[in-house]
Chain A
Amino acid sequence: MLLPDKRGYFGDFGGRFLPETLVPALRELEAEYSRAKKDPKFIRELEFYRKNYIGRETPLYFAKRLTEYLGGPKIYLKREDLAHTGSHKINNAVGQALLALRMGKRRVIAETGAGQHGVATATVAAKFGLECDVFMGEEDCERQALNVHRMKLLGTRVIPVSSGSRTLKDALNEAFRDWVATVSHTYYIFGTVAGPHPYPMMVRDFQSVIGNEARKQMLSMEGRLPNYLIACVGGGSNSIGLFHRFYNDKEVRMIGVEAGGKGINSKLHSATLSCGRPGVLHGAYSYMLQDKNGQVVPTHSIAAGLDYPGVGPEHSFYKATGRAEYHAVNDAEALSAYHLLTHIEGIIPALESSHAIGYVIKHRKRFRKGEILVLNLSGRGDKDVGRNI
């Protein structure tokens, strides 16, 4: 089964819900992407930058002391934190920048929450000589100040967004509003597996390098597939990137970890799949956090990159079909996982990725001795140092 279908649907989820003005651009992008992915030159270029610029493949690292600490399953960390710019976001940014160049666009825009996608986009813009504007919620600009500084250093204009909740969802709204007016010369480097078709498919494809590598590495290191894949889910790009290649490996179970904030009964969380219901937000039909009238509700997470009321449609499909399970880990649990990994492995994880680690710590009893877990360490935590210790 090849998903999404021609209309951009993963089962019931996905599609294209946005103003007519953007539809021709999305169709053009879809056509260009389908040409590019069959073009040996594009494939070679992507391979080249993955190896020489991003620094792939990233290690699949056996976390010996974390494994001992947990006393049951073997834990492997997929080290996306070691990718250039410090997170998996660069995988997608490079792919889409190459597309932007193919399409002759001179300007790129992006939305960002934690600033990791913003930094990745600013980086490729600098590298390929593209003009770049990044939209970032005011609250996120404050709590991820280091990344704002990095983007500016890279020559990107960071546009603080003061509307709505002043976080990722509002940055997305503003990016769409910009794009609708500039679409003739601007390419929108969308940061996650959400949004209108073809973004969920395209971003997934670019991020699938994570799972492709991890599967190969696991087979060569352990001679078998892992029992579990675990990754945090905000919009869902690092998790889909890990999960996708394993989709048909039915014995491999997948766990997506959402931001439980101050607790999923508190209303102060971003656990979209755990607590939301399907609706239309930012171009796709997917799970979202909304009130009974269909208004998007405010979200909260200590991790700016997870603080989002929507989620990619492929995750909604995984949830609906039972292919993956989704759970929430709250701020405090993520924070203690952040400290633990730092102390016993010498790796400072991003607060986003700390949610995935937090899940394993919290639910260590569900895993048996000898079982193998691959945990996606989607980003490094430098950006978070100093605001939560």
Chain B
Amino acid sequence: MGQNVPDQAARPADASDDDVAGEAYFDAVIAQDSRIEPRDWMPAAYRKTLLRQVSQHAHSEIIGMQPEANWITRAPSLKRKSILMAKVQDEAGHGLYLYSAAETLGMSRDEMTEQLIAGKARYSSIFNYPTVSWADMGAIGWLVDGAAICNQVPLCRASYGPYGRAMVRICKEESFHQRQGFEILLELANGTPGQKQMAQDAINRWYAPSLMMFGPPDDDSPNSKQSMAWNIKRFSNDELRSRFVGMIAEQVKVLGLTLPDPEVRFNDETQKWEHGPLDWDEFKDVLAGRGPCNAQRMERRRAAHEDGAWVREAATAYQAKQAAKQRARMEVAA
């Protein structure tokens, strides 16, 4: 239960009175910026919004394993291979926490997975871009995980308890991921001319898609207002995007590389970082399934799930048999 919340009056048995009391409680929790927990009453729309957001986030972690897994077998040093394996494995772990958080809202991991492979659920569209060079491992860590951190740090305070707590752990690991990405790029930028070119090329390709990870501009983001009212979302898309641009504009100097956007600047009047126009038509295309790797990512996920079905069935059958044996032993003993 949320903390610092006034005691609730005993709830009447009547369901609609229950809803009235529940809603009053929910509103009080939100007003006090406290936390809603799984057993608390919550509006159906709040539950639906969260379930969509948390499951999409989980799917993004799982699909997001693929572009990086693409380089595990080719990592150019054993140390890098080791770090990359650990990172991709972390993402599977993030997916697991997030599916668990989403399950508290009333949908099983199996159902969420079915929705994903049936194409009924979304995941972050950034993962529909291909990883064509080793430097992409750096750019994904620095830019994609960097953008994810900007988005996710405020989510640690999300009003839904399980989601906020999952985000705390995820953010810690993401910040390690971002550092290792930056380090990959730093090493390349200080390497041979070919390596430096590889790093610049990766930044050129991942810059705009990473900015679009924050979602559409505020005037075209219909759900943001309600999410902010519910204390799920704390800052607007454009606000977070501007902060991110400011962060990377400084960091890219350390790399001795450039952002592919001559319009990046700090606006003294608004006190905000600005960037050049983004291609939102491309964003919508990729979101609608017309990105470079959408079909490939979905196919891999589907293949892993379907090829693994016999293994999951075996585990379930084995467990049932063991339980039956256990019962039989207990009956004999009794």
Note whether A and B form a binding pair: no
